[in-house]
């Protein structure tokens, strides 16, 4: 609008406000007016700065009331003084709106709707999703006292229509089953209902189906579609992912009639609830229901942003009933959301611990009630066995320390025995030298560790390493040990690797044969006899 129209030109004979109001006494902005403004006006006088003309906005109340130097597009209560009304009805091709080149023309009835709205005050309304919920006034009672029926009958009466006659019982039965459980009744279920002559038979059937597990499954279908539930990842190979527990959570939530506020909290942040239960953690799996990729060449940083944007878009659709996705690239034209709002929302999902690229494995064990009880029973038995083992080990360690103390005391007192020419009748303890006799023939590779290398007795020790069946021995010594009596004792010390111990350690000596041995572990070496 670049020209000022004198107000006396707006007082035209075809503008009769009382007539307009009589034709349509109440005009609803959201239902009747906004669609017209959106279709015919917003392209040139709407939220898009790039296409806006004449610095006029008709998508906001403030813009429609803007003073252009003595005139405004809308003068509340005065359609005859409103520039918008004049332009809609002008005969001048340079002034009429919408411009003829757009090919858009309002019908006389549509023009009257806008005029009547301005006569009523020209008030704008927020979209219904942003307005507080209000309880509507019930229309007058007619044939039914049910609130929904009263609204339906009121609308039908205005259109000079009436309610259809009540359906027969079989039709009602089928409709109810399909609506509540998504499948027809079985012959037995149908027969049960048809034989019930109670005046409350239908209400009883409704209650029974609302308690049927299939009701939750039927209701969950719609919700799972909204939150893009799938058991494959979507991108690339589209491989399987385990998210069935979330589906079961939604089904149970409907069947239990879980309060909506709890449902919202558990879905968005169930894992952040103090001492969250497994069920609440499963509910927060909502945040994992999106396409992911396992493609080898995918860039993790790129997919972090892709996932965040997906979550913000879905959050808007599901929880806000708003298309937040538009604000990913620009300020929203119709909803009060900016591009800054979009990426601020993304911050709420930034702490989700998720691999951006690669296979996601389940990280939560979800046993059944029976399995949970069995697990607790086994855990109690395990704890009892571990305690018994701990007590036994403490007792064994005590005895070991006691025996080692005695043994070390004995070693300190007894010199390493040298071979004796004459044996006595008294029993004797013989300790094997840490190194073999110097005059013996050694078989296999002998590795001798000397102090300060780790040794556990004397100053030397024999180190044995290898795989499979290993042995080393010496023989043909000119100075053999002598065991004089049956009471003599022979000692050797063996220290094993605690991380990878051998399966058997065997000690053998030769008194003319090799049939004298003792071993630790399994009997796997067949040489000799005990």
pLDDT at 44: 93
Lowest mean pLDDT among 229-238, 374-383, 439-448, 491-500: 491-500
**Which residues are 48's β-sheet partners?**
none
Of 284, 235, 305, the residue nearest 313 (C-alpha)? 305
Q: Is the Cα torsion angle 436, 438, 442, 448 positive or negative in sign? A: positive
Lowest mean pLDDT among 20-29, 134-143, 346-355, 485-494: 20-29
Instruction: Using pLDDT thresholds of 50, 70 and 90, give the confidence band for residue 425.
Output: very low
Q: Is the pLDDT of residue 5 over 70?
A: no
How much is the average pLDDT of 367-384? 92
pLDDT at 18: 38
Q: Is the pLDDT of residue 249 over 70?
A: yes
Q: Is the pLDDT of residue 237 over 90?
A: no
Cα–Cα–Cα angle for 233, 256, 240, nearest 5°?
A: 15
How much is the average pLDDT of 376-386? 94
Q: Is the pLDDT of residue 126 over 60?
A: yes
Q: Are 282 and 270 in contact (CB under 8 A)?
A: yes
Q: Is the pLDDT of residue 398 over 80?
A: yes
DSSP symbol at 473: E
pLDDT at 476: 81
Q: Are 333 and 46 in contact (CB under 8 A)?
A: yes
Q: Tell how far CA 438 is from the center of its chain.
A: 73
Query: With pLDDT > 90 as the criterion, what percentage of the chain qualifies?
Result: 49
Which tens digits make up the pLDDT trace of 75-116? 999 999 999 999 999 999 889 999 999 999 999 999 999 999
Backbone dihedral angles phi then psi of residue 110, each to the nearest 5 degrees: -65, -40
pLDDT at 352: 85
Q: CA-to-CA distance for 488 and 109, rounded, in angstroms?
A: 125
Q: Are 51 and 34 in contact (CB under 8 A)?
A: no
pLDDT at 21: 41
pLDDT at 412: 52
Which tens digits make up the pLDDT trace of 172-219? 999 999 999 999 999 999 999 999 999 999 999 999 999 999 999 999
Instruction: Using pLDDT thresholds of 50, 70 and 90, give the confidence band for residue 451.
Output: low
Query: With pLDDT > 70 as the criterion, what percentage of the chain qualifies?
Result: 86
Global pTM exceeds 0.75: no
Distance set, CA 361 to CA 268, 355, 375, 489 (Å): 21, 10, 22, 60
Q: Is the pLDDT of residue 506 over 80?
A: yes
Q: Is the pLDDT of residue 498 over 80?
A: no
pLDDT at 13: 32
Q: CA-to-CA distance for 98 and 51, rounded, in angstroms?
A: 14
pLDDT at 130: 80
pLDDT at 191: 95
**Which residues are 272's β-sheet partners?**
none
Instruction: Using pLDDT thresholds of 50, 70 and 90, give the confidence band for residue 517.
Output: confident
- Pick 109 or 419 by higher pLDDT: 109
Q: Is the pLDDT of residue 424 over 70?
A: no
Which tens digits make up the pLDDT trace of 274-287? 999 999 999 999 99
Lowest mean pLDDT among 81-85, 350-354, 370-374: 350-354
pLDDT at 411: 52
Q: How much is the mean pLDDT over the chain?
A: 83
Which tens digits make up the pLDDT trace of 250-269? 999 999 999 999 999 999 99
Three-state secondary-structure class, residue 362 = coil
Of 185, 165, 166, the residue nearest 174 (C-alpha)? 185
pLDDT at 484: 64
């Amino acid at each position: 609008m670049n020209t000022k129209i004198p107000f006396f030109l707006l007082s035209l004979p075809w503008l009769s406000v009382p007539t307009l109001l009589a034709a349509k006494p109440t005009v609803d902005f959201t239902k009747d007016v906004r669609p017209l403004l959106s279709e015919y006006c917003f392209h040139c006088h709407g939220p898009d700065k790039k296409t806006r003309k004449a610095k006029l906005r008709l998508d906001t109340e403030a813009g429609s009331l803007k003073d252009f130097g003595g005139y405004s597009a809308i003068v509340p209560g005065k359609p005859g003084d409103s520039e918008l009304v004049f332009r809609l009805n002008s005969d001048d091709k340079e002034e009429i709106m919408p411009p003829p080149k757009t090919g858009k023309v309002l019908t006389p009835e549509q023009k009257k709707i806008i005029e009547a709205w301005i006569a009523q005050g020209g008030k704008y309304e927020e979209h219904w999703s942003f307005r507080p919920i209000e309880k509507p006034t019930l229309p007058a009672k007619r044939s039914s006292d049910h609130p929904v029926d009263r609204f339906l009958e009121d609308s039908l009466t205005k259109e000079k229509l009436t309610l259809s006659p009540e359906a027969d019982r079989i039709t009602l039965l089928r409709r109810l089953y399909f609506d509540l459980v998504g499948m027809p009744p079985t012959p037995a279920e149908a027969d049960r209902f048809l034989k019930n002559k109670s005046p409350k038979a239908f209400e009883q059937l409704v209650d029974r189906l609302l308690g049927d597990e299939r009701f939750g499954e039927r209701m969950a279908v719609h919700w799972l579609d909204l939150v893009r539930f799938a058991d494959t990842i979507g991108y690339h190979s589209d491989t399987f992912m385990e998210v069935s527990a979330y589906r079961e959570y939604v089904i149970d939530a409907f069947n239990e009639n879980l309060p909506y506020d709890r449902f919202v909290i558990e879905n968005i942040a169930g894992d952040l609830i103090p001492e969250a239960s497994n069920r609440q953690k499963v509910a927060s799996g909502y945040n994992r229901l999106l396409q992911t990729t396992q493609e080898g060449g995918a860039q993790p940083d790129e997919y972090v942003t892709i996932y965040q944007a997906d979550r913000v878009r879905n959050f808007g659709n599901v929880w806000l009933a708003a298309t937040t996705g538009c604000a990913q690239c620009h300020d929203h034209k119709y909803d009060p959301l900016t591009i800054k709002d979009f990426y601020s929302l993304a911050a709420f999902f930034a702490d989700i611990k998720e691999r951006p690229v690669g296979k996601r494995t389940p990280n939560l064990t979800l046993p059944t009630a029976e399995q949970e009880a069995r697990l607790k029973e086994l855990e109690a038995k395990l704890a009892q066995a571990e305690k018994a083992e701990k007590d036994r080990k403490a007792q064994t360690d005590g005895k070991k320390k006691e025996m080692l103390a005695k043994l070390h005391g004995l070693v300190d007192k007894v010199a390493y025995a040298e071979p004796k020419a004459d044996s006595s009748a008294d029993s004797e303890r013989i300790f094997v030298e840490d190194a073999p006799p110097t005059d013996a023939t050694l078989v296999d590779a002998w590795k001798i560790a000397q102090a300060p290398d780790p040794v556990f007795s004397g100053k030397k020790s024999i180190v044995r390493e290898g795989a499979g069946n290993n042995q080393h021995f010496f023989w043909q010594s000119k100075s053999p040990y002598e065991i004089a009596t049956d009471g003599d004792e022979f000692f050797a010390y063996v220290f094993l690797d605690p991380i990878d111990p051998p399966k058997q350690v065997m000690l053998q000596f030769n008194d003319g044969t090799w049939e004298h041995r003792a071993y630790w572990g399994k009997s796997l070496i067949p040489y000799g006899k005990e």
